[in-house]
């Protein structure tokens, strides 16, 4: 692991790092915020999975999470959204290819060689963090935005016992019925057989999440029709899932929306992580 940068931040350290990934076969970059409390021993961690077109940098610089993480003594991890490089398959469309990994392990060409984002986030990066940072992996929570909200919800439900809490900002929560899902799943996964394992609505119907869940979406979200809020809300209610779904009046899909409610989400996760 190579240090790209480290900066003092709210009493802690905001770092950016890169390493060669065995999962993706590429160099991957990620960011970690370590609060001051990490000097005295391992701290809980909150994962932030970002959305379409994003890198590790978007949420790190725009979400405003570090101030609240420092207040709660929680580490933050900001992974990238896909493998990158000249040898990595890509597409002219912003919603497929580099910057649009959708947190799945691709099985179809030309994507299968590098697009192993599920394995990277679920297995490889946690091991790397354990080796290099004072993070307590028995106390993890996860959040994300849009495509990253999709990743957060699906990982939380598909990996029982891994995360103590899960939240999402404007998640893509019914991708098998959305243009933000069907196109990508067809490209990455092929036929529909395995799509349900990466659809938060279907996972809610079959599994649910053993812990608290918080989902925020703006009523002025310009991508509302692609998110699948109605289907997920119905599954949430039918499952009697512990948690809250909120519609925030007047907010859109931007990081202004995320930063407006980041304190709520940090406090929500802190309650679970420090319980």
The residues annotated with a catalytic role in the active site are 146, 221, 253
d(CA 117, CA 83): 8
For every residue of 195-224, DSSP letters joined together read GGGG-HHHHHHHT--SS-EEEEEETT-TTH
Cβ atoms within 10 Å of 138's Cβ, excluding its own: 8
Edge to edge, the sheet with strand 135-144 lists: 2-9, 12-20, 27-34, 75-78, 43-49, 135-144, 166-169, 213-218, 243-248
What are the angstrom distances between the C-alpha of 258 and each of 36, 105, 181, 251?
24, 27, 22, 9
Q: Which residue has the tokens 């699948």?
A: 228
Find the length of the chain: 275
Tell me the two tokens of residue 220: 């002025």
* DSSP 8-state code for residue 105: B
């Amino acid at each position: 692991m190579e240090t790209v940068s480290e900066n003092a931040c709210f009493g802690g350290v905001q770092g950016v790092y890169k390493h060669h990934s065995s999962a993706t076969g590429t160099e991957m970059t990620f960011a970690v915020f370590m609060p001051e409390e990490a000097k005295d021993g391992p701290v809980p961690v909150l994962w932030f999975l970002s959305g379409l077109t994003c890198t590790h940098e978007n949420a790190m610089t725009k979400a405003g999470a570090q101030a609240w993480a420092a207040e709660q003594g929680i580490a933050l991890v900001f992974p990238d959204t896909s493998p990158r490089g000249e040898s990595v398959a890509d597409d002219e469309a912003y919603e497929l290819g580099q910057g649009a990994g959708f947190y799945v392990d691709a099985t179809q060409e030309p994507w299968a060689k590098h697009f192993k984002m599920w394995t990277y986030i679920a297995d490889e990066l946690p091991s790397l963090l354990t080796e290099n940072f004072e993070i307590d992996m028995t106390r993890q929570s996860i959040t994300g935005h849009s495509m990253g909200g999709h990743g957060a919800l699906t990982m939380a439900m598909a990996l029982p016992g891994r995360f103590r809490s899960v939240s999402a900002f404007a998640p893509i929560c019914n991708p098998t019925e959305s243009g933000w899902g069907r196109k990508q799943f067809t490209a990455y996964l092929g036929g529909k057989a395995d799509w349900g394992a990466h659809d938060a609505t279907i996972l809610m119907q079959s599994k649910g999440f053993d812990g608290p869940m918080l989902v925020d979406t703006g009523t002025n979200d310009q991508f509302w029709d692609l998110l699948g809020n109605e289907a997920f809300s119905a599954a949430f209610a039918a499952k009697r899932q512990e948690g809250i779904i909120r519609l925030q009046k007047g907010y859109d899909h931007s990081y202004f929306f995320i930063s407006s409610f980041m304190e709520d989400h940090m406090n929500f996760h802190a309650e679970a992580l420090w319980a």
